[in-house]
Structure 1
Amino acid sequence: MHSTILTMNLSLPGCASLKEKRQRMGGLHERFGRNPAVAVCESGERDRLEASEWTFVVTGISQQKVDSLCSEIEEKLQRTVDGRVLDVSRQTL
């Protein structure tokens, strides 16, 4: 079993309320948490309106599958979130 921790830091320019922040993040728990190989949580910047940090723990039978799923998460997040990805880090366990 292979595992990777994927952490993404996002900027949400012009975000004026926590309600707007939740709307702009667009239900990441529901979207990515459905996959049994992925655990997701907002891991930082919870109280800042114009920033958000999300961590995904991705597991799989091969490192290639885990890397592929991490890349898919990155691409979907960049396409669907009304914000800008500032930093992406991966830590292989």
Structure 2
Amino acid sequence: MHIAVMNVRISLPGCTSLKEKRQRMGGLHERYGRNPVVAVCESGEHGRLEASEWTFVVMGNERQKAESLCSEIEEKLQRTVDGRVMEVTREWL
């Protein structure tokens, strides 16, 4: 079993309320948490309106499959989140 922990930092310029922050993040937990090999949570920047940090734990029987899924998540985030992905880090367990 191969496990990747992917941390994503997102900038939300001009965000002025917690409600707007939630709307701009667009339900990441519901979208990605449905996949049985992915766990997702908002892991940081709780107190800042103009930033958000998310952690994805991706599992796969083969490292290549887990890497592919991480890349797919990263690409979808770039396209769907109303903000800028500032940093993505991956760690393998």
- The aligned residue for residue 11 of structure 1 is 11
* TM-score (ref. length: structure 1): 0.99
Hey, what's the Cα distance between the residues in 1 that align with 2:47 and 2:77?
20
Deviation at 1:47, TM superposition (A): 1.2
1:1-93 aligned at under 5 Å gives the runs 1-93=1-93
Detail structure 1 runs of 4+ shifted over 2 Å in the superposition. none
How far residue 84 of structure 1 moved from its aligned partner, in angstroms, is 0.2
Identify unmatched segments of 5+ residues in structure 1: none
Post-superposition CA distance 1:52-93 (Å, at most 9, x none) = 000000001000000000000000011000000110000011
Aligned to 2:82, the other structure's residue is in SS state coil
% identical aligned pairs = 74
Long gaps (5+) in structure 2 = none
Q: TM-score if structure 2 supplies the norm length?
A: 0.99
